[in-house]
Structure 1
């Protein structure tokens, strides 16, 4: 428990101190890679990330997930790890933001951290949170991880699985 609280405290203090801290590079395919903290505005406004707004179109969030997130929006935080180069992140992350908007989840309750192709990020955060694949959405409540969805989840419906974690209906 102390370790989880310490990791959470480190993460959020690092967010404040290094809010603008990120390493930017490009891979051989020309993808812009952000390694570190990423703002939603950066994804929406940077011409390198046209996929962000495009993949928000025509998405309707799972209603059970929306209900769970609305009911718990003031008691959870979500830490999302993603790769701006990763096809799964490019598809899922924009939809996650549609879900969070529809639920009224405050942007202050979402921390987005970019990783490189090796799933590494600044300050060793991906290692601290044991991130193996991206995107990974970690749901935190009272400083403790209550669950996570990795990539599309186990059922292929990342939003429904997030809702189940938030509602406390996981096995």
Structure 2
């Protein structure tokens, strides 16, 4: 019995050591230079990165000029969007991202969405990121805004919101999520 326990501990130790060795260090706020696109962000980003040149040129203007739908924002607060995780795939070279990412950030600021529940991943023109996150989420177009709860995807906005407003699309996603929970309870 002692030998079995020793073997289990040894195997477990090797397993955890291998996991630590293989764990990738996530580099945040990576910026690269491209011949065609100049400076661009790549990989995991913090939202403050968009306030720096050259990204601030498009980010600040769109952020400041966007008028949010206050009724939709109030509904998002009521529906507790802060209990969901949001993952955003975007490209600093992409005009749709130039439009929608500043708008999304303004909406999230209005609802006081926690920064630790937001993941922003910048991709290159091939829709690739350094850690391969795009494969896990099957990213085909940017921007893509993914809303998850308890590790399960609730919905996504791909390229542009269907209603024309990100906040309204988010409200619709949360409504569908509420209905799916009710269906699960009464199955």
RMSD: 2.2
CA shift in 2, pair 1:64/1:146, >3 Å: farther
TM-score under structure 1 normalisation? 0.81
For residue 42 of structure 2, what is the aligned residue in structure 1? 35
Compare the two structures and name the one with the higher helix fraction. Answer: 2
The residue matched to 1:105 in structure 2 has which SS? Answer: coil
Report the Cα distance in structure 1 between the residues aligned to 2:111 and 2:142, rounded to whole angstroms.
23
* 2:58 aligned with 1:51: yes
Residues 78 and 123 (structure 1 numbering): CA distance in 2 closer, same or farther, change over 3 Å?
same
Matched with 1:157 is 165
Residue 139 of structure 2 aligns to a residue in which SS?
Answer: coil
How far off is 1:59 after superposition? 1.4
Following the alignment from structure 1 to structure 2, what is the Cα–Cα distance between the partners of residues 27 and 78? 31
CA deviation map 1:113-146 (0-9, x unaligned): 0000011111111111011111100001111100
Distance 1:63 1:135 in 2: 23
Give, in angstroms, the shift of residue 23 of structure 1: 5.3
5+ residue gaps, structure 1, are 1-12
Residue in structure 2 matched with residue 139 of structure 1 by the alignment? 147
User: How many residues were matched structurally?
Assistant: 155
Contact map agreement 1:68 1:164 (CA 8 A) in 2: no
Partner of 1:3: none
1:79 alignment partner, SS class: strand
What displacement does 1:21 show?
Answer: 6.4
Larger Rg belongs to: 2
Residue matched to 2:91: 83
Structure 1 counterpart of 2:123: 115
Contact 1:78-1:140 at 8 Å conserved across structures: yes
- Segments ≥4 residues shifted beyond 6 Å: none
Partner of 1:127: 135
Deviation at 1:164? Answer: 1.1
Residue in structure 2 matched with residue 65 of structure 1 by the alignment: 72
Distance in 2 of aligned mates of 1:85 and 1:70 = 32
